[in-house]
Amino acid sequence: MKNLIIVESPTKAKTISKYFGSRFKVIASMGHIRDLPEKELGIDIENHFKPKYVVLEKKRKILQELKKEAADAETIFLAADADREGEAICWHIASELGGKDMHRLLFHEITKEKLEEALAHPTKIDMQKVDAQQARRLLDRLVGYKVSPLLGNKVQRGLSAGRVQSVSLRLIVERELEIEAFVPEEYWTITALLSKNGQELSAKLTEKNGKKIKIQNKEETEAILSELSGKDFVVQKVTKKLKKRSPSSPFITSKLQQEAFSKLGFAAKKTMSIAQQLYEGIDVGGDPVGLITYMRTDSVRVSDEAVAEARVWIEEGFSKEYLSEKQRVFTNKNKAQDAHEAVRPTSCGRNPEGIKGHLTADQFKLYNLVFKKFVSSQMADAKIMAEEVEIACGDYTFSGNGSTLLFDGYLKVWTYDLEKDKVIPELSTKDILSLIELSPKQNFTVAVPRYTEGTLIKCLEENGIGRPSTYAAIVSVIFNRSYVEKDEGKIKPTELGKTVWGLLQESFPELFEVKFTARMEEDLDKIEEGEKKWLEILDQFWGPFSLALSEAKIKMRNIKKEAEKPTDIVCDKCGANMVIKPGRFGEFLACPNFPKCRNTRALKEEKRVPPEETDKICPKCSSALVIRTGRTGRFIACKGYPKCKYTEPILKIPCPRCKEGILIFRTSKRGSFYGCSKYPNCDYTTRGEFLEETCPHCKKNLIKYKE
């Protein structure tokens, strides 16, 4: 009997199989095998929020295979990712397999050494992590399944709200409102281009009589230029200072996503997808190997072995001069979980350039970024000579600066932040500089910028919203729902996004408050740490939420109704005048009697014809009668619609059966038809459409039948 290892990914299974050969059977669950049901809430709120887990339809065959392999296995190891989601996957698998004792394998990099180490020290499923994941899942389901239908009823079908996604939308909408409310202010700058011995220096006007100056308009600018005219530019002060720039820590998830966006142009979702590939294993010449450590982490901690390897790589690749004086140790933020190391290469021996041929272009770019960030974190500081110059011209002071890189240090590897030297002339106090030109420039203050994916993730992280495993999904979902869009690389809310957030803000002011969402994340962390119980968190949440939900169902504005536009187009199923409604794909025609009548029609197909005046009077209300045009042709109707709904056929065709009634347009479940006005005494019907055009032989109205 073989030992069985169950992982969640086929790539991960393939990599681990290569290491262990025939010793283990390694199979993949393809992610979660169980979840809450798709088409119902799946939470028994009255029974202590008991979740109803069901096997996913597309995972039934996989579960059968897992059960078959488990029945023949001597020992079963559950080896999903070492986070809450991975722990939950293991728990669901164990619950379905039952019976046999199962072991949990924990590792943060997929290398033979770390896998052997994990096998030597198996653990049990961490139920506190499972509880934290379950609490998050139930909270998200309650918000999603209770609030989303409300938006569907009040705005349009297909919309969703989410405990975290809606807070992200809030940040974007509020930033946009801030930008829209911003009033630019005019200001001017004056720049002097100076020189000494042929070397140029640019300096900006900064002070007058030792006080900071603000030039507000063209008139003030011209007055200053007049004062400066003919005066010498004299060096007043020269300051030189040696500055050191230190490398930052290896990547945590959010910083990886931010840097990949700014340096490589990768969206967060793309970054995490490629990082997953690098973690699970790439064939780099014979065997697949995990190239980076686990990519969902908020810890900057690095193992001593990895640091030692990096320092050897630096000294051998460059020189001891490029090595930091002592091992750099970075400190985590207070709320970091520290379950995993920082994102780093699993071995410095796999230089990006050396394995470039085995990677796709995007895999190489991201691996190169991770590799350089980690290695540079143990390198020496860069040394820069910074110079600041103050230059007097009458009562005014101009300031200039320059910088020269003396020693590149960590920038030798982390070249992304390498800047060009800004060389200025060698200056001494009382030097008189030659003026080449004075350049006045009109400027306007600018509003805060819109978020990019990178800056949005940074904002989420700083506010404690979401966790490393959720950032990419949060950004993706608000794009998928058409709540936001890209405008020159920046995230801009759509009108739909603004509308949705406005309604949510009015109805659920606390639920989607930034600080409240951050506290919920802290509560989930406390569940994992054993400080709180998941049921306690659900209880505290449900009370206020259910009250707000009940009130929202009554008080939330009905945007659908507000946006409806009346038309003179008649519903061919029930005879009501149709209305124009906004939809996900544009405006369309719909019957106002929904849900009793569900008739809809594409707006672009309709050519709305204005009503024609007649000399007839409505027998019901004495208003004028007009000729309107519907899908079935022209008909006579009261001009006072909708107050008066009187109609009559324009063609008063006698019933061919009873000879007493006239044929009128009717609808039924089976469609539209013409029937005798004397019904039920006469049940004559015809499916044809009567035309105003008459037969040239018998002079009766022609009938058009559908093909």
Instruction: Find out whether 269 and 476 touch, Cβ atoms under 8 Å.
Output: yes
Which helix H or strand E contains 634, and what residues bound it? strand 633-638
Using an 8 Å Cβ cutoff, are 66 and 29 in contact?
A: yes
Is the peptide bond between 582 and the residue preceding it cis, with omega within 30 degrees of 0? no
Q: Give the position of tokens 């390198």.
A: 379
Q: How many helices (H) and strands (E) would you count in the chain?
A: 17, 32
The C-alpha R_g of the chain, in whole angstroms, comes to 36
Q: Which of 257, 324, 666 is nearest to 469 (CA)?
A: 257
Instruction: Report how far residue 160's alpha carbon sits from residue 143's, in angstroms, rounded to the nearest whole number.
Output: 9
Long-range pairs of 158-165 with CB within 8 A, sequence gap ≥ 24: 158/584, 159/481, 159/496, 159/500, 160/477, 160/481, 161/500, 161/504, 162/477, 163/139, 163/511, 163/517, 163/520, 164/140, 164/465, 164/466, 164/470, 164/474, 164/517, 165/474, 165/477, 165/478, 165/481
Q: Strand 3-7 to strand 24-28: parallel, antiparallel, or no bridges (unpaired)?
A: parallel
Give the dihedral sign, CA 412/414/415/421.
Answer: negative
DSSP string computed for 331-391? PPPTT----SPPB-BS-TTS-GGGGGGGS-HHHHHHHHHHHHHHHHTTBPPEEEEEEEEEE
Sign of CA dihedral 471, 473, 476, 480: negative
CA–CA separation, 197 and 429 (whole Å): 15
Distance CA 359, CA 278 (A): 9
Measured CA to CA, the distance from residue 681 to residue 704 in angstroms comes to 26
Torsion angle (degrees, nearest 10) of CA 683, 687, 692, 697:
-90
In three-state secondary structure terms, 104 is strand
DSSP letter at 405 equals: E
In three state form, how does the secondary structure of 27-58 look? EECCCCCEECCCCCCCEEHHHCCEECCEECHH
Name the catalytic one among 53, 279, 294, 410.
294
Specify whether 367 is catalytic. no
Where are any strands of DSSP class E within 16-127? 24-28, 34-35, 43-44, 50-51, 54-55, 76-78, 102-104
Residue pair 269/475 in contact by the 8 Å Cβ criterion? yes
Q: Is 288 left (phi over 0), alpha (psi -120 to 50) or beta?
A: beta
- Which residues participate in catalysis according to the annotation? 294
